[in-house]
Structures are given as structure tokens and as C-alpha cells.
């Protein structure tokens, strides 16, 4: 009979390093269908993270934080302090090589239920837009945790770590978008202190004032 070992230590949250990048891509895909696994929706497993995860640590590695367990990367939060400046950075540095890698001809629905074409359209259509919302809430973020790490307090810890970093930079506020198909994430954002500022068919924009 083997004695039970010591309890495993709480999962560490730490700043992103480049070795975390493959794990970030995997977690992004496996949570990319309104919080559920999007693997079956994409022929190209990298497309989602090319847009919603990887550019953040490339533009500003100081605002991405990750959590690992013994199986690998468990979750991350990615953020930018200044959304408009980030969009300008994307236009200059990020979209051009991706537009070469994914020609616009791929932005056509093949009719088989896969969604690569929508992401390719995004890569080609994205332009910097200085929204009025950015004045008070210039930062934005994305947070994703694999199912085995959910509802353990890790989302709150990752979020608190990023919000502390944003406050440390004197950022006045942060916004995010949550799809209407993801009520669990909506409940999480309310629980950690976001409020809803607008709602549409696609989902809701939520904000948090960081000056208080």
C-alpha cells in the first residue's frame, strides 16, 4: 500500500516566456468555441491563436501571464495596455506576414462547417479603429483555461495578476468582449468585478475602472 503523497502545490502563475508559446496555441484552440474545444471547427489549428493570443506577448510580453501544471500549460491571460496602439502595431508588424501566409482567397466559406475562412477574413479586414470606449478603458484582454483548471480559482488569480500589472502602468480601465454563447465566462467576469456596458446579438462588452 502506498501512502498518499503531500498535496500538490497550488499552480504557479508567472509571466509568459517564449517556451510557453506552443501551449498558448493549444489552449486557445481547445477553448476557442465559446469556451469549448474548437479543434473540430478548424482545418488549421493555429488560426485562432494567430489572432486572439499570440500577438499579445509579441507586442508586449509583460502583459501575458501563464499557469502550468505537470501536464503542461493550463491557462493564460493575454492583454494590452493600449488597444489602439496595439491595433496599429498589428497593422505594421503582425497582419502583413499573416496576409501572405493566408491569401484572401481562403476567406470563402467552403461549406463544410469549418470556420477558417472567417478568421482569414478577419486577418485581411482588420484595421486600427480608435473607439470612444478606449478613452476610459484603453486596455483589453483574453483569458482561457483548459477544463481541468477551471473553477479552481485560477481564472481569478490570472485576472488579478494582469489587473495589478495594468494598474502598475497607470492604465485607467480595461474592456473585453464576451460572446452570447458563453454565459459561464460572462458570470466569471461579473464575479471578478467587470460590468456590462453594451450588448448586441454577438455578445456583450464589459469594462472595469482601474482607477479605484
Ligand X SMILES: CC(C)(COP(=O)(O)OP(=O)(O)OC[C@H]1O[C@@H](n2cnc3c(N)ncnc32)[C@H](O)[C@@H]1OP(=O)(O)O)[C@@H](O)C(=O)NCCC(=O)NCCS
Binding site for ligand X (CB under 6 A): 31, 35, 143-145, 150-156, 178, 182, 184-185, 187-188, 191-192
Q: Which residue, 11 or 102, has its beta carbon nearer to ligand X?
A: 11
Q: Order of strands across the sheet with 64-69?
A: 13-15, 64-69, 72-80, 139-145, 173-179, 203-209, 195-199
Q: Which residue, 137 or 188, has its beta carbon nearer to ligand X?
A: 188
CA distance 82 to 105: 32
Please state the closest distance from residue 149 (CB atom) to ligand X, in A: 6
Q: Which residue, 35 or 79, has its beta carbon nearer to ligand X?
A: 35
Contacts of 163 (CB under 8 A, 6+ apart): 174, 208, 210
**Closest residue by beta carbon to ligand X:** 155
Whether the Cβ atoms of residue 45 and residue 118 lie closer than 8 Å to each other: no
Whether the Cβ atoms of residue 188 and residue 200 lie closer than 8 Å to each other: no
Q: How many CB atoms lie within 10 A of CB 39?
A: 12
Query: How many residues in the chain?
Result: 212
Q: Which residue, 97 or 202, has its beta carbon nearer to ligand X?
A: 202
Q: Which residue, 60 or 182, has its beta carbon nearer to ligand X?
A: 182
> Which helix (H) or strand (E) covers residue 77, if one does?
strand 72-80
Please state the closest distance from residue 172 (CB atom) to ligand X, in A: 22
Please state the closest distance from residue 120 (CB atom) to ligand X, in A: 21
Strands (E) in 81-194, as ranges, are 139-145, 173-179
Please state the closest distance from residue 99 (CB atom) to ligand X, in A: 26
Q: Which residue, 87 or 144, has its beta carbon nearer to ligand X?
A: 144
- Residue at grid coordinates 458563453: 182
Q: How many CB atoms lie within 10 A of CB 169?
A: 13
Please state the closest distance from residue 100 (CB atom) to ligand X, in A: 29
Please state the closest distance from residue 183 (CB atom) to ligand X, in A: 7
Amino acid at each position: 500500500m502506498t501512502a498518499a503523497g503531500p498535496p500538490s502545490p497550488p499552480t504557479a502563475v508567472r509571466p509568459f516566456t517564449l517556451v510557453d508559446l506552443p501551449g498558448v496555441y493549444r489552449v486557445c484552440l481547445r477553448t476557442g468555441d465559446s469556451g469549448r474545444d474548437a479543434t473540430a471547427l478548424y482545418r488549421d489549428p493555429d488560426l485562432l491563436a494567430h489572432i486572439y493570443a499570440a500577438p499579445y506577448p509579441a507586442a508586449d510580453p509583460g502583459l501575458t501571464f501563464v499557469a502550468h501544471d505537470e501536464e503542461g500549460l493550463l491557462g493564460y491571460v493575454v492583454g494590452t495596455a493600449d488597444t489602439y496602439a496595439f491595433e496599429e502595431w498589428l497593422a505594421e508588424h503582425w497582419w502583413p506576414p499573416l496576409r501572405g501566409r493566408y491569401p484572401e482567397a481562403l476567406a470563402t466559406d467552403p461549406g463544410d462547417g469549418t470556420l477558417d475562412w472567417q478568421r482569414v477574413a478577419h486577418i485581411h479586414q482588420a484595421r486600427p479603429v480608435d473607439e470612444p470606449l478606449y478613452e476610459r478603458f484603453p486596455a483589453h484582454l483574453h483569458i482561457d483555461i483548459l477544463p481541468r483548471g477551471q473553477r479552481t480559482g485560477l481564472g481569478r488569480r490570472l485576472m488579478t495578476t494582469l489587473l495589478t500589472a495594468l494598474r502598475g502602468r497607470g492604465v485607467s480601465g480595461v474592456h473585453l468582449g464576451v460572446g452570447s454563447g458563453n454565459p459561464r465566462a460572462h458570470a466569471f467576469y461579473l464575479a471578478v468585478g467587470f460590468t456590462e456596458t453594451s450588448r448586441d446579438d454577438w455578445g456583450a462588452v464589459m469594462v472595469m475602472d482601474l482607477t479605484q
